[in-house]
Amino acid sequence: MRKKIVAGNWKMNLTVQEGLQLSAEIADFVKNNPLEKLNGNPAVIMFTPFTHVYSVSDSVKGLKGLSTGAQNCHTEEKGAFTGETSVSMIKSAGALNVLVGHSERRAYFGETNEVLARKVKAAMDAGLTPMYCCGEVLEERNASNHFEVVKEQLEKGLFWLSAEEFAKVVIAYEPVWAIGTGVTASPGQAQEMHAYIRGLIKDKYNNEVAENTSILYGGSCNAKNAAELFANKDVDGGLIGGASLKAEDFCTIIQSF
């Protein structure tokens, strides 16, 4: 049975103090509503800014099913890379997860599939779980190239992994045209792409690996539409942006399975 996951991507928001307040509210919810007793037994991840990882990780230590992650990592373990953060630094701060290939990293920082493959390797070598993001922009969807775009992102970024290694990866599908726009892919569009991704995994590896891979939806998922999106058989949760900054909304999403 593949894992259900609700992940909050705080992006470049919240001071450390504000982040600790938010994590405390989420932690209180989890204490009062043990995740293993909720529908779907979801895991919850908070992807915080680098400055917050240690303090937020420490504040939720010991809460079953609740963990933290970094929003990015460097490909190298150490060196003269001013301003960058290595996977060992992330792990030492208490995080268990790291985002790789978020659409904003691809668009604003020019990260290629080849660079992202190296980040995946670095994360896995450090024992972190990479959450690999893939998805198309509006022009690619309008040109009906969205399947090919996602296929290339997966082939170059992940499909060099062995089946054993791939089993440790989580995938987040991001229709880039739906991020921060208020436009959400319809449940049918989300299911179509998630099923397509699962089919690619089956073709590359096998049915068991495909059926055990968690694939999250990441495109303007919120407290109002999460339940409808999560009801799709191939949608295993969400990578939540803006709605993850409000404890009430985020906790509603956690209960949406």
250: number of Cβ within 10 Å = 23
Tens digits of per-residue pLDDT, 135-187?
999 999 999 999 999 999 999 999 999 999 999 999 999 999 888 777 778 99
- Pick from 169, 153, 6: which is nearest to 98 by CA? 169
Tell me the C-alpha distance between 48 and 52, whole Å: 6
> Would you give the DSSP letter of residue 49?
-
Which entry of 52, 74, 102, 146 is annotated as an active-site residue?
A: 102
Question: Would you give per-residue pLDDT tens digits along the chain (257 residues)?
Answer: 899 999 999 999 999 999 999 999 999 999 999 999 999 999 999 999 999 999 999 999 999 999 999 999 999 999 999 999 999 999 999 999 999 999 999 999 999 999 999 999 999 999 999 999 999 999 999 999 999 999 999 999 999 999 999 999 999 999 998 887 777 789 999 999 999 999 999 999 999 999 999 999 998 899 999 999 999 999 999 999 999 999 999 999 999 99
17/59 Cα distance (integer angstroms)? 12
Number of residues that this document lists for the chain = 257
CATH domain 5-254 topology: TIM Barrel (3.20.20)
Q: How far is CA 212 from CA 56, 127, 154, 248, in A?
A: 29, 19, 17, 30
Beta bridge partners of 44: 6, 66
CA dihedral 180, 21, 48, 15 (to 10 degrees): 80
Q: Is 52 a catalytic residue?
A: no
102 is catalytic: yes
Could you tell me the pTM of the whole model?
A: 0.97
Running DSSP on this structure, what letter comes out for residue 65?
T
In sequence order, the 6+-apart residues with CB closer than 8 A to the CB of 59 are 20, 23, 24, 27
Listed residue (175, 110, 185, 184) closest to 145, CA to CA: 175
The domain locations on the chain are: 5-254
